């Protein structure tokens, strides 16, 4: 009998299938773990942007989580779009009770500039959600929103990571992909530093990159990798997924999980 590690994503739906829950489950399938989902919000979304978004009731989020955890169990959890302060706080409370590693992707704004988290929820992310994280995976916009630190060069990644660690995640992966040049990220727990570098692929079809990376980290952790190993494997996976990203619709197409 096959026993697969079980990974849970707590995130929003992207109707276009490029990001959110859909990207998470595709990543998990590709990486050989059993993917499960707690849906927090539904977006009407395609390659040109987010046309609408609706939150699920907090009770629906709690009930999905309990159904999964109480029967099936989880070896790792990943969080994505949480939308409101109420949802952030409910999810943080649930995660405070788990022994499984938690990857927090503090999703703020989509590549098209559509808000996926209310600004009134930022303080709950800082004080309630980040302390539950085994690894937090902010991009530079999210770092700026959460800490006020603006990074303009590789040297700034260390300061950004330090500011985020103050909120209590065990590790921080600051993603420098929006800087010019190679895609450089810094993973640190405040003691160790791991610099991850990948060549920049000249491909605009990168929708779902952040969701894919965080889900790949959670999948690695569920398989028993330690944090630096899981992050390094996930970076390789997402780099290939970006290289293979493809055009769909009139705008930004998705990264490809099936290469």
**By the criterion CB under 6 A, which residues form the site for ligand PLP?**
11-12, 14, 19-20, 43, 45, 80-81, 107, 110-111, 116, 207-211
Q: Is 154 exposed, middle or buried (0-12, 13-18, 19+ CB in 10 A)?
A: middle
Q: How far is the CB of 180 from ligand PLP (least distance, A)?
A: 19
The residue with its CB nearest to ligand PLP is: 20
Furthest-apart CA pair in the chain: how many Å? Answer: 51
Closest to ligand PLP by CB, 5 vs 208, is 208
Closest to ligand PLP by CB, 39 vs 70, is 39
Check: CB of residue 126 under 8 Å from CB of residue 117.
no
Closest to ligand PLP by CB, 101 vs 245, is 245
Q: How far is the CB of 191 from ligand PLP (least distance, A)?
A: 29
Q: How far is the CB of 8 from ligand PLP (least distance, A)?
A: 15
Query: End-to-end alpha-carbon separation of the chain, Å?
Result: 27
Q: How far is the CB of 48 from ligand PLP (least distance, A)?
A: 11
Closest to ligand PLP by CB, 75 vs 110, is 110
Which residue in the block uniquely carries the two structure tokens 């398989």? 223
Q: Is 216 exposed, middle or buried (0-12, 13-18, 19+ CB in 10 A)?
A: buried
Q: How far is CA 220 from the centre of its chain?
A: 14
By annotation, the residues acting in catalysis are 175, 206, 208-211
What is the CB neighbour count within 10 angstroms for residue 202?
6
């Amino acid at each position: 009998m096959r026993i697969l590690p079980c990974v849970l994503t707590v995130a929003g739906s992207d109707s276009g299938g490029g990001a959110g829950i859909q990207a998470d489950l595709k990543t998990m399938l590709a990486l050989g773990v059993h993917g499960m989902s707690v849906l927090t919000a539904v977006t009407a979304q395609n390659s040109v942007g987010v046309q609408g978004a609706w939150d699920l009731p907090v009770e629906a989020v709690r009930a999905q989580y309990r159904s999964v955890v109480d029967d099936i169990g989880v070896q790792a959890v990943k969080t994505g779009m949480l939308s409101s302060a109420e949802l952030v706080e409910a999810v943080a409370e649930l995660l405070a009770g788990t022994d499984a590693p938690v990857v927090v992707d503090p999703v703020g704004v989509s590549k098209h500039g559509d808000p996926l988290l209310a600004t009134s929820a930022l303080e709950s992310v800082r004080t309630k959600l980040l302390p539950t994280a085994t690894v937090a995976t902010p991009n530079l916009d999210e770092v700026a929103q959460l800490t006020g630190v603006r990074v303009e060069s590789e040297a700034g990644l260390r300061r950004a990571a330090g500011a985020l660690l103050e909120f209590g995640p065990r590790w921080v992966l600051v993603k420098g992909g929006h800087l010019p040049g190679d895609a450089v990220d810094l993973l640190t727990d405040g003691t160790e530093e791991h610099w991850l570098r990948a060549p920049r692929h000249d491909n605009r079809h990168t929708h779902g990159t952040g969701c894919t990376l965080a889900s790949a980290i959670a999948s690695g952790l569920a398989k028993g990798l330690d944090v630096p190993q899981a992050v390094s494997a996930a970076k390789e996976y997402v780099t290939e997924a970006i290289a293979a990203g493809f055009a769909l619709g009139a705008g930004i197409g998705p990264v490809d999980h099936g290469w």
